[in-house]
Amino acid sequence: MSDRIPVDPALRARMAAVSSPAATLRALPLTLLISVRARGGACSRVAAALAVEALPGHGPMVSSPAGRVTWLRPDEWLVEAPTASRDALLTALSQAVGDGTPDTDGAVVELSASRHVLELSGPRARDLLAAVCTLDLHPRTFPVGHATQTLLARAPVLLQLVDATPTWRLLVRPSFVSYVVEWLADAMEGA
């Protein structure tokens, strides 16, 4: 896996053209994304493999020495990590959930190719997202360090608020990335 930015050059140029000091939209390099399904005792083993006290529940993300851990549903978490840690992390997580026998307590699947990561940051970023998303994005209800799956202009995304700038990360399926960028670009041009 490389650290290339998977979004095509024309789309990157569109993002650069609409970016300003008020809001910047850009594609981030590929990152390692791992889905971890776990239940029962595997949850504590996965937490130990990631060196965190416990796997997060709905809302807050957890930082780990391995990377960022985000709750996706009651028995699934997304682990985002540097691509260099791929083999060691996949092995550790696979051992934590079990060996593939019928009594295995989960599954580990690499999803890196299934999501592009966009970053929207700047003082107007929250307002721009609010124009294309039905969630309440006010800091009281969506504070820094939180994430959720939602629809952004009808496209499914994982939305993460990573800092108070605010900086938002949007994990988007490749087939929706152009659509999401165009919606955000239109909102940025209209702002």
pLDDT given at position 4: 60
pLDDT given at position 71: 96
Q: Position of tokens 């992390």?
A: 89
CATH of domain 32-112: 3.30.70.1520
Please give the average per-residue pLDDT across 109-136, as a whole number: 94
Residue-wise pLDDT tens digits, 32-42: 999 999 998 89
Neighbours of 189 (CB within 10 A): 9
C-alpha 115/C-alpha 155 separation (Å) is 13
Say yes or no to pLDDT of 191 above 80. Answer: no
What is the pTM for the complete model shown?
Answer: 0.91
User: Would you kindly state where each structural domain of the chain is located, as residue ranges?
Assistant: 9-29+114-190, 32-112
pLDDT given at position 1: 42
Given the DSSP bridges, would you call strands 147-152 and 155-163 parallel, antiparallel or unpaired? Answer: antiparallel
- At the top level of CATH, the class of 9-29+114-190 is alpha beta
